[in-house]
């Protein structure tokens, strides 16, 4: 399958067969995407420990049939107030802690039997941890270092380039894309309003050609947000993208279940969700992110709920709640980033089948357009 | 230029050369769109008087070189509390009237020298008026009756069909589209979140294939929202649409200025706006509608501003304000529906040039996709 852009070819750049990049927190899904001819990109924010990430990347090196994969690290351009998790936690108002405790109780989410390790699930959002993750990643063979929070710090870009690894960044506005390219970013992921996770106001249909026109031949552009079938891949290519970046779709992959507590309940909830069942809220991280609507997000939308805290305090506030919610395995109470595209999926399938359908439908859509 | 769908061909159905339908409140723009090979659709909500609409449609009949045009009437499926404008006005709280008066004074918007006719600019939103407009329209030769507020009442659909005229309706969700097709609507306009005017939460990239799949071969589907260049037309076709419905783009047409007070200031404001300079708010009509961000919309977003009233009371509340704002000709104070696509336009051009570029870029985008 070929791309349709004057910008160069993302497949040549990344050494992949199809112009489809898949973001996922699961190494099993990432490996399957890469084996199927796309580029699996492993989200690293869940790794508090550099050795755990190291071991996971060893596993990826061994399970991708030698095909390329990428690594996504959360790197705020402006480092947040740094310190240990304990230092930061003193900044969280008691009102917020009380609200979280009360809400979890009302939703019937039990405490974790073994308690929670200090900093569990939150250190990945800190600058120093993200930087260590990049160091670990570059000791492996990533084909891409990506940052889901915009332009990475300049020295991280330089470090990746010195290792011959291209850098990708997510942009929700043209001005972000321009700054990223000025900073040396090689691949801009233009992420529309409909996307899961951190997202801006501008939708893919409007944002994608804007970003393509703004960066010209200085970077490749991937379209993200609202991509779940081949017609949407074809549409992104028609808008000028070199390829697509997909996230939410892979939450429905059979491989996702391996090793993730709560994945069965989460997948059950996603299967029953329509495109109207997401909300864009600051409750997940402190920055606006699109999530699956659930009793958890509804509780935060109630008139008596407190305003979410800024990043990274909101992460710290809800980290244990996220673990408890996952462990509770209740499809009605889910804390999971998800885009509007989730309405398209009605079954759990292996990544290889999903990829084959994507490629086939993209071909069909392009052929249909070309038939005159 | 051919379409790319298994649904049938919108061009054959409407007798047009290009699969581009253009909504506009200006008969001059509508006529130019039709003359250029698209279908100009005249928005009728501004006509309080059936004779005025009748005369305008006479003008369209005489100025479209015999090419087809359409008519858009605002028909709420559920008739609002009906009565004269004077009856309805008693339902508006004094707090709201005071806020509007105070805000206009603060923004430096003068009163109209000649005063305002009772009901000016608001009667078009009433059910009985819309029904009379359909009756008038069907005495001319419309190729389409459209309803920007969803499914028209069943008797209106039957009346149009009896006259051999297809009916279009705007849908922001799949369930709306399904209900419309059940009611007999022939053409569903799937309008994404990014669109100007009344709009839902789901973006074009996600909504369009959902609606295409849901209606199957029971109706033709047009993509609306975020369409301003040929790549976006090609993307909508790739997503399965039979064609596109464009609104905001035509506000930048040279022909728009003819006969509309305030159009110079409005066009100046739009030329300087980016895709981030819109807001989705209930202040225009009582239902969520995307507008150009301006000092007027900002005033309604302030903490001390009242909640907008339900339709049609909000129309009645702000009708005189809209006339005063238009007359004031201040690019900083604009009350105008506009989609995110406005960021794409940087000059005022004749409709014929806009259409030629749309067609040419669509061809190029399709050819580029097809080149492998």
Please enumerate in sequence order all residues whose Cβ is within 8 A of that of A320, keeping only pairs 6 or more positions apart, or say none: A112, A116, A120, A121
Interface with chain B: mutation pick from A234, A235, A345, highest number of B CBs within 10 Å = A235
Cα separation, A229 vs A231, in Å, equals: 6
Q: What is the mean pLDDT of chain B?
A: 91
The residue assigned the tokens 């769908």 is B5
Contact between B125 and B315 (Cβ < 8 Å): yes
- Do A203 and B192 count as a contact with CB atoms less than 8 A apart? yes
Q: Where are the domains of chain A?
A: 10-100+121-261+345-363
Supply the pLDDT for residue A119.
54
Give A298-355 pLDDT, tens digit per residue: 999 999 999 999 988 898 899 999 999 999 999 999 999 999 999 999 999 999 999 9
Inspect the interface and report whether the beta carbons of B202 and A5 lie closer than 8 Å: no
Alpha carbon distance A57, A51 (integer Å): 10
Select the residue of B207, B229, B235 nearest A235 (Cβ to Cβ).
Answer: B235
Chain A nearest CA to B172, separation (Å): 10
* Nearest CB partner across the interface for B238, out of A275, A365, A371: A365
CA distance B66 to chain A (A): 27
Distance, in Å, from the CA atom of B296 to the CA atom of A229, rounded to the nearest integer, reads: 40
Contact A22, A189 (CB under 8 A): no
Helix (H) or strand (E) holding A136: helix A127-138
Closest residue in B to A208 (Cα–Cα): B232
Averaged pLDDT for residues B161-186? 96
- Give me the pLDDT at residue A117, please: 61
In B, minimum Cα distance to A3 occurs at B369
What ipTM was estimated for this complex? 0.93
Residue A1: its pLDDT value, please? 42
What pLDDT does residue B149 have?
78
Closest CA to A343 of A281, A289, A252, A272: A272
Matching residue, tokens 């850098």 = A167
Contact between chains at A209 and B231 (C-beta distance less than 8 A)? yes
What does the DSSP 8-state code read for residue A236?
H
- Residue B14 has a pLDDT of 96
**Radius of gyration, alpha carbons of chain B:** 20
Mutate to test the interface with A, among B206, B207, B208, B291 (most CBs of A within 10 A): B206
What is the DSSP-derived secondary structure letter of residue A254? G
Whether a cis peptide bond, with omega within 30° of 0, leads into B312 is yes
Residue A89, judged by CB atoms within 10 A of its CB (0-12, 13-18, 19+), counts as middle
B31–chain A nearest CA distance, Å: 27
Q: A205–B194: do the CB atoms touch at under 8 Å?
A: yes
A10-100+121-261+345-363: CATH number: 3.20.20.70
**Cβ–Cβ below 8 Å for A369 and B276:** no
When pLDDT is cut at 50, 70 and 90, the band that residue B128 belongs to is confident
Residues of chain B in contact with residue A225, where contact means CB-CB under 8 angstroms, are 203, 205
Residue B5 confidence (pLDDT) above 50: no
- How far off is chain B from A152, nearest CA to CA, in Å? 23
CA nearest to A89, candidates A283, A282, A309, A316? A316
- Within 8 A of A203 by CB-CB distance, chain B residues are 192-194, 203-205, 225-226, 340
Residues from chain B that touch A6, judged by Cβ atoms under 8 A, are 368
pLDDT at B4 over 60: no
CB atoms within 10 A of CB A49: 14
Span B10-370: which CATH code?
3.20.20.70
Tell me the Cα Rg of chain A: 20
Is the predicted pLDDT of residue B274 greater than 50, yes or no? yes
- Percent of chain B residues topping a pLDDT of 90: 79
The minimal CB distance from B226 to the residues A203, A227, A275 is found for: A203
DSSP A151: S
Phi first, then psi, for residue B167 (nearest 5°) are -120, 135
Q: How close A299 comes to chain B (CA, Å)?
A: 20
Contact call for A2 and B237, based on CB within 8 A: no
- B205 closest CB neighbour out of A201, A235, A343: A235
Residue A148 Cα distances to A72, A73, A74, B48, B169, angstroms: 7, 7, 6, 52, 39
**For residue B104, what pLDDT band results from cuts at 50, 70 and 90?**
very high
Question: What mean pLDDT is predicted for residues B109-123?
Answer: 71
Per-residue pLDDT of chain A (372 residues; tens, 9 = 90+): 433 444 578 999 999 999 999 999 999 999 999 999 999 999 998 887 889 999 999 999 999 999 999 999 987 655 445 555 557 778 899 999 999 999 999 999 999 987 666 555 555 566 677 888 999 999 999 999 999 877 788 889 999 999 999 999 999 999 999 999 999 999 999 999 999 999 999 999 999 999 999 999 999 999 999 999 999 999 999 999 999 999 999 999 999 988 788 899 999 999 999 999 999 999 999 999 999 999 999 999 999 999 999 988 898 899 999 999 999 999 999 999 999 999 999 999 999 999 999 999 999 999 999 886
Q: Each residue of A171-186: b (16+ CB within 10 Å) or e?
A: bbbbebbbbbbebbbb
CB nearest A2 (choices: B193, B367, B372): B372
Task: Identify which of B237, B335, B320 has the alpha carbon closest to the alpha carbon of residue B290.
Answer: B335
Q: Is the pLDDT of residue B124 over 80?
A: no
pLDDT tier, B79 (very low <50, low <70, confident <90, very high otherwise): very low
d(C-alpha A56, C-alpha A119), whole Å: 20
In terms of C-beta distances under 8 Å and separation of at least 24 residues, what long-range contacts does A151-159 make, across chains too?
A151/A77, A151/A176, A151/A179, A151/A180, A151/A183, A151/A185, A152/A73, A152/A75, A152/A77, A152/A183, A152/A185, A153/A75, A153/A77, A153/A79, A154/A183, A154/A184, A156/A75, A156/A131, A157/A183, A157/A184, A157/A185, A158/A184, A159/A134, A159/A135
Distance from CA of B303 to the nearest CA of A (A): 15
Q: Which of A205, A231, A274, A303 to mutate to test the interface with B (most CBs of B within 10 A)?
A: A205
Judge: B227–A205 Cβ closer than 8 Å, yes or no: yes
* Chain B residues with CB-CB distance to A275 below 8 A: 173-174, 202, 206-207, 210
Which residues neighbour A90 within 8 Å (Cβ) at sequence distance 6 or greater? none
CA distance A289 to chain B (A): 15
Which among B173, B204, B205 has the least Cβ separation from residue A276? B173
**How far apart are the CA of A252 and the nearest CA of chain B, in angstroms?**
17
Q: Which residue has the tokens 């399965």?
A: B240
d(CA B198, CA B149): 8
Alpha helix locations (H) across chain B?
10-14, 27-35, 50-63, 85-89, 94-106, 127-137, 154-162, 174-183, 204-215, 230-238, 263-271, 295-301, 313-328, 351-370
Instruction: Report chain A residues whose CB lies below 8 A from the CB of B239.
Output: 231-232, 234-235
Q: Residue A4 and residue B369: Cβ atoms within 8 Å?
A: yes
Find, among B56, B48, B39, B25, the residue nearest to B130 by Cα. Answer: B48
Nearest to B203 among A194, A210, A365 (CB): A194
pLDDT at B178 over 60: yes
Residue B122 tokens, joined: 């608001």
Closest CB from B232, B238, B275 relative to A234: B238
CA distance A349 to chain B (A): 20
E strand or H helix at A60, and its extent?
helix A50-63
For residue A291, list its beta bridge partners: A279, A337
Query: What are the tokens at A52?
Result: 């755990």
Rounded to a whole number of angstroms, the distance from the CA of A108 to the nearest CA of chain B is 30
Whether the pLDDT of residue B339 is over 50: the answer is yes
DSSP A161-228: HHTT--EEEEESSHHHHHHHHHHT-SEEEEE-TTSSEE--SS-HHHHHHHHHHHHGGGSEEEEESS--
**A297 against B121, higher pLDDT:** A297
Distance from CA of B331 to the nearest CA of A (A): 23
What are the chain B neighbours of A229 within 8 Å (beta carbons)? 209
> Do B176 and B190 contact (CB within 8 A), yes or no?
no
Interface test with A, best of B2, B213, B291, B369 (most A CBs within 10 A): B369
- Asked if A4's CB is within 8 angstroms of B368's CB, the reply is yes
pLDDT tens-digit readout, A184-198: 999 999 999 999 999
Distance, CA of B266 to CA of B333 (rounded, Å):
9
Cβ contact, residue pair B206, A193, below 8 Å:
no
Q: Which residue of A has its CA nearest to B232?
A: A239
User: Who among B4, B207, B229 is closest to A209 (CB)?
Assistant: B229
A238 contacts in B (CB within 8 Å)? 231, 234-235, 237-238, 365-366, 369
| Residue B8 clears pLDDT 50, i.e. is over it | yes
Count of all residues that appear for chain B in the document: 372
Please state, in angstroms and rounded to a whole number, the distance separating the CA atoms of residues A74 and A335.
18
Go through B193-203 and write b for each residue having 16 or more CB atoms within 10 A of its CB, e for each that does not.
bbbbbbbbbbb
Give dist(CA B291, CA B272) in Å, integer. Answer: 15
Tell me whether residues B205 and A226 touch, CB distance under 8 A.
Answer: yes
Angle, to 10 degrees, between the axis of helix B27-35 and the axis of helix B50-63?
30
Place of tokens 């900093």: A119
Nearest to B370 among A236, A240, A369 (CB): A369
- Stretch B91-95: mean pLDDT, rounded? 93
Distances (CA, A) of B121 to A89, B133, B252: 56, 14, 22
Exposure on the CB side of residue B16, measured as CA atoms within 13 A: 31
């Amino acid at each position: 399958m070929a791309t349709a852009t004057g910008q160069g070819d993302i497949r040549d750049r990344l050494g992949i067969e199809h112009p489809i990049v898949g973001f996922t927190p699961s190494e099993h899904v990432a490996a399957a995407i890469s084996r199927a001819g796309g580029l699996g990109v492993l989200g690293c924010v869940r790794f508090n420990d550099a050795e755990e990430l190291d071991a996971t990347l060893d596993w990826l090196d061994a399970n991708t049939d030698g095909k390329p994969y990428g690594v996504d690290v959360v790197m705020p351009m402006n480092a947040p107030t740094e310190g240990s998790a304990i230092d930061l936690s003193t900044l969280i108002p008691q009102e917020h802690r009380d609200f979280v405790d009360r809400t979890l109780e009302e939703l019937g989410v039990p405490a974790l039997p073994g308690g929670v390790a200090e900093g569990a699930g939150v250190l990945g959002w800190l600058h120093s941890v993200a930087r260590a993750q990049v160091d670990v990643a570059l000791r492996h063979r990533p084909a891409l270092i990506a940052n889901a929070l915009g332009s990475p710090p300049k020295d991280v870009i330089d470090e990746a380039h010195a290792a011959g690894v291209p850098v990708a960044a997510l942009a929700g506005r043209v001005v972000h894309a321009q700054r990223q390219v000025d900073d040396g970013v090689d691949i801009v992921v233009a992420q529309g309003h409909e996307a899961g996770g951190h997202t801006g106001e501008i939708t893919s249909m409007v944002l994608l050609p804007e970003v393509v026109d703004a960066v010209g031949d200085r970077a490749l552009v991937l379209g993200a947000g609202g991509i779940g079938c081949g017609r949407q891949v074809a549409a992104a290519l028609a808008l000028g993208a070199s390829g697509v970046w997909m996230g939410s779709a892979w939450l429905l992959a059979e491989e996702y279940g391996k090793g993730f507590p709560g994945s069965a309940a989460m997948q059950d909830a996603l299967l029953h969700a329509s495109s109207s069942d997401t909300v864009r809220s600051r409750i997940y991280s402190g920055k606006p992110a699109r999530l699956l609507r659930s009793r958890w997000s509804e509780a935060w939308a109630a008139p008596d709920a407190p305003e979410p805290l800024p990043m990274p305090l909101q992460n710290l506030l809800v980290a244990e709640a996220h673990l408890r919610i996952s462990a509770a395995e209740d499809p009605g109470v889910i804390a999971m980033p998800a885009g509007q595209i989730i309405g398209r999926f009605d079954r759990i399938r292996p990544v290889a089948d999903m990829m084959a359908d994507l490629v086939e439908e993209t071909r069909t859509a392009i052929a249909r357009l070309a038939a005159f």
